[in-house]
């Protein structure tokens, strides 16, 4: 195993990790505010992919140009979803079992209705940069992946500016720190919840649009990325956005580097075993700190 192979694996890992980061951040932002794990995050990404597909095939729009439109559509969709359905289910306070079932049910609903509309065929889009590659320090990578990665960086910066500078961003942070305190200060929890969920859905949609440029879409594509997003947020601590960002990159590298060690057939097992170990060790450390 020479250095070049490892370097290529790391670069590939970062590119895959970019998508994981995006979906991980979207999941973690929702958890931070509402304290519920959204089990249909992968399906939201899938919806974003189909959105891009429709914009591309019907209007001939380049997937990268479609990103803002996809983001707006997904934001509105997320706001609707939260204010119509999910709010009703989180009234019980600390018991989150029902939200788990509800979001899992929504996940099935999304993927099966896409199956009804588009069928189970794999679909891809035509992009301006398809099949073009650049080489960076001896590692080859496709232009689409590179642009997606740059979008990830830009989006993360924007997200931080949004949370730090804007009024609603500050309200979101306040609610995630202390729900009661925030509502005492006159912050409307309902509005913040809806915005947060919309934001999460929009980021997942953007991740889907980026993924669409070099991958294909089918109704069950979300389940893989949904499961990955859980791992990402666990690596980076639930509710911590910076953690989600780096967690995604770490997971991407873990996958590609792990594939070199255990052959690519067993890389999934490696990822899941690492996930359980990280989860358990973290929990033990926390318990010790408390004791």
Partner 1 sequence: MEKLKRYAKNNPMAVVMVVLLVLGVLLPLFLNKAYVLSILCMTVYVAGCSLAWSILGGMIGQISLGHGAFAAIGAYIGTVFITYFNTSPWIAMAVSFVVVGATITLLMTPCFGLKGAYFSLTTIAFGEAFRNIFTNWEYVGAGQGMMLPLVRAKDESLWMLAFRSKASYYYVGLVLLVVFYLIVKWIDGSKLGYALKTIREDEGTAEAIGIKPIKYKLIATFISTGMVSVMGVFYATYIRYISPELMLQSKSLEFVLPAVIGGISTVEGPVLGSLIIVPLSQYLNSALGSKLPGSNLVVYALILIVVVLFRPSGLLGWWQEQRQKKRIAAEKAELGEEGKEQVNG
Does position 237 interact with partner 1 (CB under 8 A)? The reply is no
Judged by CB under 8 A, the chain residues 12 through 41 that form the site for partner 1 are 36-37
Does position 223 interact with partner 1 (CB under 8 A)? The reply is yes
Q: How far is the CB of 4 from partner 1 (least distance, A)?
A: 27
What's the rounded Cα separation, in Å, for the pair 257 and 259?
5
Transcribe 120-153 into DSSP letters.
Answer: S--B----TTTT-EEEETTEEEEHHHHHHHHHHH
Q: How far is the CB of 92 from partner 1 (least distance, A)?
A: 8
- Closest Cα partner for 230 from 44, 37, 17? 37
Name which position in 129, 218, 245, 275 contacts partner 1 (CB under 8 A): 275
Does position 227 interact with partner 1 (CB under 8 A)? The reply is yes
Does position 191 interact with partner 1 (CB under 8 A)? The reply is no
How far CA 232 is from CA of 24, 108, 110, 138, 274, in Å, comes to: 5, 22, 23, 29, 11
Does position 176 interact with partner 1 (CB under 8 A)? The reply is no
How far CA 124 is from CA of 23, 50, 148, 218, 222, in Å, comes to: 20, 10, 16, 9, 15
Q: How many CB atoms lie within 10 A of CB 123?
A: 16
Strand partners, 136: 139
Does position 269 interact with partner 1 (CB under 8 A)? The reply is yes
Part in contact with partner 1 (CB under 8 A); list of ranges 4-12, 44-52, 101-109, 159-167 = 101-109
Judged by CB, which is closer to partner 1: 146, or 235?
Answer: 235
How far CA 201 is from CA of 18, 44, 206, in Å, comes to: 17, 6, 9
Q: How far is the CB of 158 from partner 1 (least distance, A)?
A: 29
Name which position in 41, 171, 234, 256 contacts partner 1 (CB under 8 A): 234
Q: How many CB atoms lie within 10 A of CB 284?
A: 10
Judged by CB under 8 A, the chain residues 119 through 148 that form the site for partner 1 are 119-120
Judged by CB, which is closer to partner 1: 82, or 127?
Answer: 82
Name which position in 134, 164, 266, 285 contacts partner 1 (CB under 8 A): 266
Burial of residue 67 (number of CB atoms within 10 Å: 0-12, 13-18, 19+): buried
Residues shown for the chain: 291
Judged by CB, which is closer to partner 1: 100, or 168?
Answer: 100
Number of residues that bind partner 1 (CB under 8 A): 44
Please report, as ranges, the residues that interact with partner 1 according to CB under 8 A.
Answer: 36-37, 85, 88-89, 92, 96-98, 100-102, 104-106, 108-109, 111-116, 119-120, 219, 223, 227, 230-231, 234, 265-266, 268-269, 272-273, 275-276, 279-280, 283-284, 287
């Amino acid at each position: 195993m020479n250095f070049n192979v490892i370097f290529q694996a790391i670069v590939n890992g970062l590119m895959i990790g970019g998508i994981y980061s995006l979906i991980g951040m979207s999941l973690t932002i929702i958890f931070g505010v509402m304290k519920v794990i959204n089990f249909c995050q992968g399906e939201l990404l899938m919806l974003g992919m189909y959105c891009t597909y429709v914009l591309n095939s019907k209007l001939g729009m380049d997937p990268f140009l479609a990103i803002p439109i996809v983001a707006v559509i997904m934001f509105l969709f997320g706001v609707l979803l939260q204010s119509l359905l999910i709010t009703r289910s989180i009234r019980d306070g600390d018991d989150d079992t029902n939200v788990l079932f509800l979001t899992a049910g929504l996940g099935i609903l999304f993927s099966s209705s896409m199956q009804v509309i588009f069928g189970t065929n794999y679909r891809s889009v035509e992009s301006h940069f398809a099949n073009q590659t650049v080489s960076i320090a001896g590692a080859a990578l496709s232009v689409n992946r590179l642009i997606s990665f740059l979008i990830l960086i830009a989006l993360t910066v924007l997200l931080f500016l949004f949370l730090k500078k804007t009024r609603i961003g500050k309200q979101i942070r306040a609610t995630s720190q202390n729900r009661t305190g925030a509502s005492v200060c006159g912050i409307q929890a309902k509005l913040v919840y809806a915005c947060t969920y919309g934001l999460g859905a929009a980021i997942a949609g953007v991740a889907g649009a980026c993924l669409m440029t070099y991958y294909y879409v089918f109704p069950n594509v979300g389940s893989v990325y949904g499961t990955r997003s859980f791992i990402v947020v666990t690596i980076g601590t639930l509710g911590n956005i910076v953690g989600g960002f780096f967690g995604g990159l770490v997971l991407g590298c873990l996958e590609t580097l792990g594939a070199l060690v255990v052959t690519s057939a067993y890389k999934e097992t490696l990822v899941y075993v690492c996930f359980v170990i990280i989860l358990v060790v973290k929990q033990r450390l926390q318990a010790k700190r408390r004791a």
